[in-house]
């Protein structure tokens, strides 16, 4: 356990998984029960060297990836221990914050447009024969104004080249949203495999 004094009223306590185990605590800390409050007070007393029952504290707890946590303890009305400084009086509130999990971005498919249905079938057959060129989920659409579209989550320079050989062009970002609303779905999920079988 490591304690760093940030300011006269704020302390950062870094606890390992073993430290939490020694105090029989888990993140998120249950501060609604008397037993949970008692365990947290005991940890604060040992880490900071002051009696958390003698003052008002604001506690923020952030879980770490390794199973431990970081506690930021702020005194709301006095300063943390030291010569001649008042000690906190009573722990009346604590706030537990667990950080939100990292935002996962939903992948956006890349769309390629082909001049005719034959070109779409031919590129699907070629992609099926080219391992590693286009894996994952693929869908095929017919556009309202003409053109046939292949949507894939596995776009790259190699796929651009293969599609280009069959007259395909990479569409601008946002085309997939247009197709979802206005296009006619020809094949969803595994379009490359299904359409390649038609040749």
What digits encode the pLDDT tens for the residues 151-197?
A: 887 767 788 888 888 899 998 888 888 888 888 988 888 888 888 88
Within-domain flag for 124: yes
Number of separate helices (H) and strands (E) present in the chain: 6, 9
Give the residue, 61 or 113, on which the prediction is more confident: 113
Domain that holds residue 17: 2-75
**Total domain count, the chain:** 2
Query: What is the chain's length?
Result: 199
Over residues 113-141, the pLDDT tens digits come to 999 999 999 988 888 887 766 667 888 99
- Whether 185 and 123 map to the same domain: the answer is yes
For 150-181, b/e burial (b = at least 16 CB within 10 A) is: bbbebbeeebeebbeebbbeebeeebbebbee
Within-domain flag for 30: yes
- Whether 175 and 123 map to the same domain: the answer is yes
Within-domain flag for 97: no
Residue pair 61/96 in contact (Cβ under 8 Å)? The answer is yes
- Listed ranges 1-10, 36-45, 109-118; the one with the highest mean pLDDT: 109-118
What CA–CA distance (Å, rounded) separates 61 from 134? 44
Q: Is 111 helix (H, G, I), strand (E, B) or coil?
A: strand
Q: Is the dihedral of CA 175, 181, 186, 188 positive or negative?
A: positive
């Amino acid at each position: 356990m490591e304690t760093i004094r940030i300011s006269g009223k704020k302390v950062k306590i870094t606890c390992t998984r073993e430290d939490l185990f020694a105090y029989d605590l888990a993140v998120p800390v249950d501060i609604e029960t008397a037993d949970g409050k008692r365990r947290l007070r005991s940890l604060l007393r040992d880490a900071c060297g002051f009696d958390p029952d003698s003052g008002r504290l604001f506690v923020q707890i952030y879980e770490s990836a390794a199973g431990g946590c970081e506690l930021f303890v702020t005194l709301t009305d006095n300063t943390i221990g030291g010569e001649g400084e008042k000690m906190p009086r009573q722990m009346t509130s604590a706030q537990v914050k667990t950080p939100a999990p990292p935002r996962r971005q939903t992948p956006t498919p890349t769309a390629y447009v082909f001049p005719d249905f034959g070109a779409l079938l031919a590129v699907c057959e070629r992609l099926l024969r080219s391992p590693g060129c286009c894996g994952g989920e693929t869908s095929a659409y017919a556009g309202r104004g003409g053109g046939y579209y292949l949507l894939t989550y596995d776009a790259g320079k190699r796929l651009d080249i293969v599609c280009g050989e069959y007259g395909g062009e990479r569409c601008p970002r946002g085309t997939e949203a247009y197709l979802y609303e206005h296009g006619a779905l020809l094949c969803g999920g595994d379009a490359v495999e299904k359409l390649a079988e038609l040749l």
